[in-house]
């Protein structure tokens, strides 16, 4: 039997075979038949301090009393599943395997998807210019690849998947998207990654020209977080 997880907007879904969940041993407390209490601490499956701070800010801004803690030792994970949700799940499982069964783990995966490139770089966003993970090189490559693409064909969106795995072995997946277009040249000094090239819909400035709080109102991560926050609020 398969358990299907679906994002709030139904855009992406994936299934996990129940025997796989059971075989992991992580589903053990499910048999107790009691829902776990609302998490007060969530372990983020990343060693990236910037991400931890960003999620903590999102939690604080949504009024949720939850502490986001970084993975003390995030094991290396090959992001090779071909989907945002699959990659997030791999990260969550890799960290969860190192922690006590009653911990909550959150993993994310995100990227920029360009219509004229058939959705690329997408799940490959972090490695677009090669496996060296150099975000300046990634930005340069996307700028060059898009150089001759006319104004009407520069649509792109950022996509974020958040996967929360609880003590009972249950997983919930939340998704967020921010639509926009790509600028011709990188502009702006804030943010990271592809921020200087991406102009969100309804704006004239790139992500990299917005303040952190302006970006947090519209970003793909903030939108995915909103779904997660609503889920956390629904706990008794």
Q: Which residue is nearest to ligand IMP (CB)?
A: 193
Three-state DSSP class for residue 193: coil
Contact of 30 with 169, CB cutoff 8 Å:
yes
Q: How far is the CB of 63 from ligand IMP (least distance, A)?
A: 23
Residue 106 β-bridge partners: 44, 164
Query: Does residue number 126 form part of the binding site for ligand IMP (CB under 6 A)?
Result: yes
Contact of 100 with 76, CB cutoff 8 Å:
no
Q: How far is the CB of 88 from ligand IMP (least distance, A)?
A: 8
134 noted as active-site residue? no
Query: Does residue number 45 form part of the binding site for ligand IMP (CB under 6 A)?
Result: no
Query: Does residue number 175 form part of the binding site for ligand IMP (CB under 6 A)?
Result: no
Query: Does residue number 166 form part of the binding site for ligand IMP (CB under 6 A)?
Result: no
Residue 175 β-bridge partners: 161
Please report which residue ranges of the chain form alpha helices under DSSP H: 18-23, 49-61, 84-96, 135-145, 212-218, 220-233
Query: Does residue number 55 form part of the binding site for ligand IMP (CB under 6 A)?
Result: no
Considering 78, 80, 108, 109, which one is annotated as catalytic?
109
Percent helix, percent strand, percent coil in the chain, to nearest 5: 35, 25, 40
Query: Does residue number 111 form part of the binding site for ligand IMP (CB under 6 A)?
Result: yes
Total residues contacting ligand IMP by CB under 6 A comes to 17
Among 110, 154, 165, 183, binds ligand IMP (CB under 6 A): 110
Query: Does residue number 195 form part of the binding site for ligand IMP (CB under 6 A)?
Result: yes
Among 45, 108, 209, 232, binds ligand IMP (CB under 6 A): 108
DSSP string, 2-59: EEEEE-TTSS-EEEEEHHHHHHTSTTGGGGG--PPPPPSEEEES---HHHHHHHHHHH
Query: Does residue number 209 form part of the binding site for ligand IMP (CB under 6 A)?
Result: no
Smaller CB separation from ligand IMP, 125 or 209 = 125
Question: CA-CA-CA-CA torsion for 117, 143, 212, 52, nearest 10 degrees?
Answer: 70
Length of the chain: 236
Q: Is the peptide bond before 31 cis (omega within 30 degrees of 0)?
A: no
Q: How far is the CB of 139 from ligand IMP (least distance, A)?
A: 8
Smaller CB separation from ligand IMP, 109 or 168 = 109
Smaller CB separation from ligand IMP, 167 or 224 = 224
Q: How far is the CB of 213 from ligand IMP (least distance, A)?
A: 14
Q: Looking at the annotation, which residues are catalytic?
A: 109
For ligand IMP, the binding residues (CB under 6 A) are 108-112, 125-126, 135, 138, 158, 191-195, 207, 219
């Amino acid at each position: 039997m398969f358990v299907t997880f679906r994002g709030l907007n139904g855009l992406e879904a994936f299934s996990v075979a129940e025997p796989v969940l059971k075989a992991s041993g992580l589903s053990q407390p499910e048999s107790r038949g009691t829902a776990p209490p609302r998490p007060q601490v969530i372990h983020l499956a990343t060693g990236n301090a910037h991400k931890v701070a960003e999620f903590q800010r999102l939690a604080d801004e949504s009024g949720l009393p939850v502490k986001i803690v970084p993975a003390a030792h995030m094991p290396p994970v090959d992001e090779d599943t071909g989907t945002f949700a699959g990659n997030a799940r791999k990260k969550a499982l890799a960290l969860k395997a190192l922690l006590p069964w009653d911990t909550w783990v959150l993993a994310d995966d995100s990227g920029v998807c360009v219509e004229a490139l058939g959705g690329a770089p997408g799940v490959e966003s972090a490695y677009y210019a090669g496996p060296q993970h150099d975000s300046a090189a990634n930005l340069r490559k996307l700028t060059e690849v898009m150089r001759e693409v006319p104004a009407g064909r520069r649509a792109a969106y950022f996509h974020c998947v958040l996967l929360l795995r609880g003590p009972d072995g249950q997983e919930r997946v939340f998704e967020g998207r921010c639509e926009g277009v790509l600028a011709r040249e990188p502009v702006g000094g804030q943010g990271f990654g592809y921020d200087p090239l991406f102009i969100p819909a309804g704006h004239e400035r790139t992500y990299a020209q917005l303040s952190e709080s302006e970006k947090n109102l519209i970003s793909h991560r903030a939108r995915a977080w909103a779904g997660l926050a609503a889920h956390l609020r629904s706990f008794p």
